[in-house]
Structure 1
Amino acid sequence: MRSVQLRLDLPSPYVHPMHAFVAETSGFRATRLRHWNPAVGQRNTLVFFVDGDDPDAYAAALAEQESILEYEVATEESRRGFHLVVTEDQRSADARLTAAFLNTGVVVVPPIVYRDDRCIDLSIVGAPDEVETAIDGLPSDVGVTVRRIRSYDGRFTDPTAALTPRQREALRVAVRCGYYNETRETTVDTIAAELGCSAGTAAEHLRKAEATVLRRVVDATPDGRA
């Protein structure tokens, strides 16, 4: 089974108006489609994260789109950007793009990244012939770049799955004790005492766990400009 990262260079008809808004508006960088309803069809509900500084301006642009039936914006003061839930009637151009991945046996793995250069980054998983069929099924005027091909490793969907039990325990203790809080509230010595090991061993567990998780998070996510 193959995992393939693709970049799609979209001609204007395939660029969603809200994708174009992000590309053209200062203060917006990228949009990540994180979840969607399983049965993709004429009417779809989707969950996005928008890396942008002005949710009100984005909502105003959303309200002007005829295809958008409902939407809700959720902001958090502690982080840049905002989440968005949208119910939309599928545009014909979007239907032509998604048709390549329907009934082919491939799985599209979130997130799908809508970049500020109007390209889309996405990953698909499937048997080699199914992946080839899906790529060949994309509209001929869409530019396709295969950015990476590798054997599928299901652990990439759960970055913590590759941790040893001891590394997982060390991370759990560190988080509980406030080691990763904005203002660090504990020390490696305290974590070591809870784990029943030396400070050097505790530090090594944390270092290896952090490296494993971060490497897999970065490697499993299509490139964006967020």
Structure 2
Amino acid sequence: MRSMQLRLDLPAPYVHPMHAFVADTPGFRATHLRHWNPAVGERNTLVFFVDGDDPAVYTDALDDQPSILEYEIATEKNRRGFHLAVTEDQRATDARLTGAFLGTGVVVVPPVVYRADRRLDLSLVGTGDELETALDSLPGDIGVTVQRIRPYDGRLSDPTATLTSRQRTALRIAVDAGYYADPRAATLEAVADELGCAVGTAAEHLRKAEAGVLGRVVDSIPGGRG
């Protein structure tokens, strides 16, 4: 089983109007598709994170789209962007794109990133043959760049997968003690005391754990390192 990260160059007909809106509108940067209903078909419900500054401007554009049936947004004070739940009638070009992955045995792993350059980043998991079938099933007028292929090791769902038991324990203790709180509520010495080790050893456990977790978090984002 393998994990594959793709970047798709979308011809104009495949660019959803709201994707184009984000690409063309100052103050908007990208859209992340986080969740969707399991049975992709003519009518779909999807949950996005929109990296944009003005929800009202975005919803005005949504109101102009005939395929959008209903929507609701959720904002969080002092955080950039907002979440969007939307129900939409599927466009014919969207059906052609998603159809490449239906019945092939691959799993599309969120997020799917609608970039500000009108390209699309996504991750697939499947056997080698299944991934090849999915690629071959994409419409021929879509440009495809395979950014990374690696054996599937859980990094898409569990960024702590490669940590040692000691590193996991150190990270848990540090979080529980408030070492990563803002403002910081515990010292490295307190973490070392709880671990029963020297301060330098505790620092090394945390450094390696942080590097492992953060590296995998970035790698799990389609196009995260490029």
TM-score where L is the length of structure 2: 0.95
2:11 match: 11
Does the CA-based 8 Å contact 1:113-1:224 persist in structure 2? no
Give, in whole Å, the separation in 2 of the partners of 1:161 and 1:143. Answer: 33
Q: Distance in 2 between matches of 1:66 and 1:173?
A: 51
Alignment deviations for residues 5-64 of structure 1 (CA, whole Å, 9 cap, x no partner):
111111111100110000000011111111111111111111111111111111111121
Q: Distance in 2 between matches of 1:5 and 1:35?
A: 18
Q: Which residue of 2 aligns with 1:213?
A: 213
In the alignment, does 2:183 pair up with 1:189? Answer: no
Alignment of 1:1-226 (within 5 A): 1-223=1-223
Mapped contact 2:37–2:46 kept (Cα < 8 A): yes
Deviations 1:109-167 (A, max 9, x none): 11101000000011111122211111111111111111112222224420012222221
Total equivalences in the alignment: 225
Task: Note if contact 2:154-2:161 (Cα within 8 Å) is conserved in structure 1.
Answer: no
Contact 1:68-1:87 at 8 Å conserved across structures? yes
The percentage of aligned residue pairs carrying the same residue is 73
Show structure 1 runs of 5+ residues with no match: none
Contact 2:109–2:156, Cα closer than 8 Å, also in 1: no
TM-score by length of 1: 0.95
Deviation at 1:173, TM superposition (A): 1.7
Distance 1:126 1:29, change over 3 A: same
Deviation at 1:2, TM superposition (A): 2.2
C-alpha distance in structure 1 between counterparts of 2:105 and 2:47, whole Å: 23
Tell me the SS of whatever aligns to 2:132.
helix
In 2, the alpha carbon distance for the partners of 1:156 and 1:89 equals 29
The alignment partner of 2:190 has SS state of helix
SS, match of residue 160 in structure 2:
helix
Q: Deviations over 1:75-119 (max 9, x none)?
A: 112321111111111111100000000001111111101000000
